[in-house]
Amino acid sequence: MAIFAIGDLHLSLGTDKPMDVFPGWEGYLPKLEANWRRLIAPEDTVLLAGDTSWAMNLNDTRADFAFIQSLPGQKWLIKGNHDYWWTTTRKMETFLAANGFDSLHILHNNACLVGDTALCGTRGWPFDDAAAQGEKLMAREAGRLRMSLQAAGDAPHKIAFLHYPPVFPGACAEELVAVLHEFGVTECYYGHLHGKSIHYARQGVADGITYRLISADGLGFCPCKIG
């Protein structure tokens, strides 16, 4: 039972917003599918780190979710800044069940246990948003990350996933990083960064936590094996 992760699939099979128009994304979907099927088995778990679908509402995700459903593995989704279809957990779980998307699950204020490893996470927020609303949203996301890690219970190994980067060279989202240290997290994966921004991603060990960027183009559209 291996664990993989990838973020920012930006699927648009049910809407007209193709990513192929951006440099580096040409023909990305066949690449993604080929790499996924080559690496991932039905018993594996895949964490999708936000910005999964360009759909504007839940009903319009059907084509994108059907594509994900067709791929091997159990998939757990966290929210990204472009997941406009995201609604309450209850509504999303009802939608997934009604459409037979039984390999898709929502990671929101909860945790996914794979053996003795707990996968935890939330969207996060840009740490350079100093506005009052930004501070409020950051505090809320820190609370959700804490709830997710608490839901992991006594799992000896807790891994955190965020959509927004919690660190940049010389700066960090202090509220989120403090929660990671509070629960003894030593691995944190994040997405959101694309194109030239990939070069500015903080990767490697910082204050005892290993960070890695897992946006789709940052990984060459190849899911990353965790651990």
Q: What is the pLDDT of residues 204-226, one digit of tens each?
A: 999 999 999 999 999 999 999 99
DSSP letter for 219, please: G
Angstrom distance (rounded) from CA 70 to CA 23 = 27
Which run of H or of E encompasses 154? none
> With 90 as the cut, is the pLDDT of residue 163 above it?
yes
Q: What is the pLDDT of residues 37-77, one digit of tens each?
A: 999 999 999 999 999 999 999 999 999 999 999 999 999 99
CATH architecture of the domain covering 3-226:
4-Layer Sandwich (3.60)
What integer best gives the mean pLDDT of the chain? 95
Per-residue pLDDT, 130: 67
> With 90 as the cut, is the pLDDT of residue 171 above it?
no
Half-sphere exposure of 30 (CA within 13 A, CB side): 3
Cross-strand pairs, 204: 211
